[in-house]
Each structure stands twice: as structure tokens, then as C-alpha cells.
Structure 1
Amino acid sequence: MKTATSADGTPIAFDEVGDGPPIVIVGGAFSVASDGAPIAEALAKQGFRAVTVDRRGRGASGDRRGSTPEDEADDLAAVIDAVGRDAIVLGHSSGAVLGLFAAARGVPMRALFLSEPPFRFGVDEPAADLPERLQRLVDEGRRDDAVVTFQLEGVELPPQMVEQIRQSDMFASLVAVAQSTVYDATLTRQVSTPTAEMLAVSQPITILRGERTFPMLVASADRLAQAMPHAELVIVPESVMHRPDPDATARVVRERV
């Protein structure tokens, strides 16, 4: 992996595949760079240089206690500076929220693709103290409880599904990035409703969602599109239940840049 250095000195690791215009893939909760590999490969086949990122507190990237959404925007800026300032950004889930937040802060990007961003617009908000409670659990060494709490309260997964995940082989990989739940919860609390600056971002914006996905994400994508008349809403039938289909997503991007 390569490394970019963020404004506060935190190293941010990223991988690249393919040749062509750079496109930075920003994953959502619990994701690391390798999780973006299928989409990266599909984008590489479409003629892009696809960049997958370990967000702060994940994988090979560094971390710093008390990190803020502004720090994560700086992380994205550092990666874009390393791969090319005309980069496209493809964000999924909280990564889409981060991408739009960073663009509003002036992080240079050529175009922005937002895949199922979980904006709440003031509806059914998680408890305001969720980030602080998650941090306490991590600090007490209860990283598994932090993961479960975030899944139940931040993502609102059904308890039965959360228990199945807890008993699965994948749970250890989620516990390894438990600190990142604090950052995701902080980001989505701070900009649960997009700010005026976020809605006024001038770059070309495409909002993507599946036909079959969580109702909250349907409402979020549709309401964001209504609030951003210059944005295009694209429904991707192949993407199901908050899992973007790599080939279909790559085709949407290729058709628009």
C-alpha cells in the first residue's frame, strides 16, 4: 500500500489498480480498503485508476484520539493530492457523507458519486450521546460492545441480525476497527442533515441507490436529490440491500465522466 500524510500528520494508506483518470473510493462503516477491491477492479476495467482507502483508524492507516469529521476530510484531501487533484470521488454509505462534507470544505474533486448516503434529515435520529458512549466502550476495552452498540443504534440493524454477525467469523474484523465507529457516529451526527454548503457543492453530483435497500436509505437518497436540483438520482437495480453492485456502479460512473 501507499501512504499519504494528512494535515495532522496521520498516515492514510491507499491502494491503486488500473490506469486512467483517478477515482477515489471512500467506504462506509467498518470497511477497509480491501472491501472496495471489487468495485475498484470493475472501475479499472472501465478505464479508471481506482484508489481504495483505509480511512482513519482502520487497516494500515494511522489514528489520533479525538479525530473529527474535519480530520477525515483532510485525510481525503491528502489522498487526492497524492493521486491527482482532478480525482473523482465515489463514496458509499458514511463514505458518501464524508465525500460531500469534504467537497463543501473545498477539497478538490472533479465529480462526486454518492452511493446511499445515510442522511437522516432530522427523522429517527440516534441518541445524541452515541459517539461519546462508543468512545467510552472502546476506552474500557469493550470493543465488541462498541461494535454491537453501533450496529443496533447507529445503523439500526435488527437484533437477530446483530447477534448472527456477533457469532460469525467476520466479527473479529469489525472489532479490529471499533474505534472507527466513533468517527462514523460523530460524522453522521454532525451532518445528519446536509448543510447549506454541502447542498451548494458545484461539482457534478450523482446520487445512487438500489431499488431494494433499507427504507431509510431510499428516503435519504430521494430527499437529497430533491434538495440538490443539479444532482442526478440514479437507481441501480443490481445493487441490493446497501451492497453496491461493482459492474453496474462502474458503468454508471463511466457513462457520466
Structure 2
Amino acid sequence: MSTVVSADGTPIAYSHTGSGPALVLVDGAFGHRAFGPNPALAALLAADFTVWTYDRRGRGGSGNQLPFAPEREYEDLSAVVKEAGGQACVYGISSGAALVLDAVAHGVPATRVAVFEAPFLVDDSRPPVPADHQEQLSALLAQDKRGAVVSWFMRRGVGLSAPLVAFMHLLPAWPKLKRLAHTAPYDLAHLGTAAYGQPLDPSRWAGLRVPTLVIDGGKSPASMRTAMAALAQALPDAAYETLPGQMHIVKPAVLAPVLTRFFVKGEIRP
């Protein structure tokens, strides 16, 4: 592990592996270099890329300078890209996808961008994230109800069923999720206005002027696939790809070849 210092002085922990052009992977909610889908994905991509993974602020070996604002995570990603040579391909999953799109639109230097299932909602197929989500989560965190934060996030933010969230309490990963409960508001902040069931605003990503690949899973909910199709239409230069048989917990072995085709071989075009 190494660290790079972000613009506000926050240390950001990172690792890199492999050889080839730089590729930075950005985690979604609760993920970091040692937890989530990206560690396995990095190992698969290392034959074609120098793969950079990092702990988003507040996670793993990274600091958590307050107050938080989404722009601080743009600066964190920018610091990692600078460490990787000044520009890189960038991939983000889930809320990390929303982070990547906004960060590159705000000037983080990327040559190409790929995102998997940013958790946007553009229709009424499921309840939207509550408008007062930050206040509700802040109140729970102030009482140190970390388990309640994770449950709220999974039920009201992600839209999982109550029985499924109750089952998650029994899983070995539950304590790891609780340890990162303080970062849940960060992930919801990156959704912005795209979590309320309204059409996407293309002006949000007007500054994203690099080829972009929007990916979803063929077995993901219809609301997610509708949102990703709308996202591809809203971006200035985007292709749209569906992975048959995949869901939001995407298999790295299925995803890795698609990223290689897009980032290295240029076989997927808008």
C-alpha cells in the first residue's frame, strides 16, 4: 500500500498491479481495495493494464477529512490519476460510477470511461431515495446506530426487500458494512438529482468529452436497465452494452473482457 495526498490534505491509500496502460478502478458503496468486486477484477485486468485501486475517503487506509462534499472525491480520484501518470482509463461501479462520471465531467483527466450500473432512477418502477436522506442518515450516525444506517441504505437507498436486508445481518460481511456506515451518505450524495425518478439532465455531464461505455446486467431490474439506457443517451459520446445473465453483483470474469475490448482494443464504439 502507498498513499497520495488529496487537495484538502486527506491521505488516499492505493495499490497497483500489472503492466500496460493505466486503469483506475473506483468502488461503489462500502467497497475498498480489500472488499467488494474490484480486487478480483483488478487481478483479471492486470495482464493488459497497470491497474490502480484505491480506498475512497473514509475507507480502508484512507483518511476522512471533514466536511464531506462530492467534489472532495473528484479531487481524490484526480490525485490517484496523477500518481498513475497524469491520465488513465477510469472504471466505476454503482455509486462509484456516478462519482466517475461527475469527476471526469469536472476535469479529472481520463482517456476513456466505463461505468457499470450507476444507481439512478428515471421512472416510477420503485420508490425513489427519500429527499431527506442525508438528514435521516446523519441522525442515525449521531446516535452511533451503524447497523441501522446500513439497513436504511439497503432498504431505502438501494431498494432491497426487508427479508433480504434482514438476511444480510447474518452474513460474515455485515460487520464490515457496519464499519463503513459513516460513508453511506457519501454514496447517496453522488447520485444528486438522478435518484428521484425524473429524466436525467444531460447538462450534468456536458464536460465529459471522452468515449464512455455504459454497462448493465441482463438480469438486473428493469428500473436499472431503463436508467442505464437513458444514461447512455444523455452522455455526449457513449456506447451501451448489456451483459447477459448478470446482475448488480457482476461477475468479474464476465466484465473484464468487455472492459479490455473497450479500453484497449476499441472494439465497442458509440
- How high is the TM-score relative to the length of structure 2? 0.89
What does residue 241 of structure 2 align with? 234
Match of 2:156 in 1: 153
User: Which residue in 2 is equivalent to 1:182?
Assistant: 185
Residue aligned with 2:42, SS: helix
Partner of 1:112: 113
C-alpha offsets along residues 36-74 of structure 1, whole Å, 9 cap, x if unaligned?
Answer: 1110011112x1011112111111111023311111111
Query: Aligned partners of 1:101 and 1:64: how far apart in 2?
Result: 20
Structure 2 contact 25–53 (Cα < 8 Å) conserved: yes
Partner of 2:167: 164
Native 8 Å contact 2:122 2:223 kept in 1: no
Cα RMSD after superposing both structures: 1.6
Provide the C-alpha distance between the structure 1 equivalents of 2:110 and 2:53, rounded to a whole number of angstroms: 16
Whether contact under 8 Å (1:73, 1:102) holds in the other structure is yes
Q: Secondary structure, in 3 states, of the residue corresponding to 1:212?
A: coil
The answer for unaligned runs of 5 or more in structure 2 is 265-270
Q: 1:24 to 1:178 in 2, by over 3 A?
A: same
Secondary structure, aligned partner of 2:214: strand
Amino acid across the alignment from 1:57: G
Contact 2:113 2:211 in 1 (8 A): yes
Q: Taking every aligned residue pair, what percent have the same amino acid on both sides?
A: 34
Quote the Cα distance in structure 1 between the aligned partners of 2:7 and 2:122.
30
Residue 50 in structure 1 maps to residue 56 in structure 2: no
Matching of residues 25-104 of structure 1 within 5 Å: 25-34=25-34, 35=36, 36-45=38-47, 47-104=48-105
Post-superposition shift, 1:141? 1.0
* Mapped partners of 2:21, 2:138: distance in 1: 38
SS in 1 for 2:167: helix
Is the CA contact 1:132–1:182 (under 8 Å) kept in the aligned structure 2? Answer: no
**TM-aligned CA deviation for residue 247 of structure 1:** 2.6
Alpha carbons 1:199, 1:227 under 8 Å: kept: no
> What CA distance in whole angstroms lies between the structure 1 residues aligned with 2:165 and 2:4?
34
Question: Distance between the aligned counterparts of 1:53 and 1:237, measured in 2?
Answer: 29
In the TM superposition, residue 194 of structure 1 has moved relative to its aligned partner by 4.8
Q: Which residue of 1 aligns with 2:267?
A: none
Please, which runs of 5 or more residues in structure 1 have no aligned partner?
none
Aligned residue runs from structure 1 range 235-250, under 5 A: 235-237=242-244, 240-250=246-256
Name the counterpart of 2:268: none
2:24 is matched with 24
2:12 corresponds to which residue?
A: 12
Q: Is the 8 A contact 1:200 1:228 kept in 2?
A: no
- Partner AA of 1:67 in structure 2: F
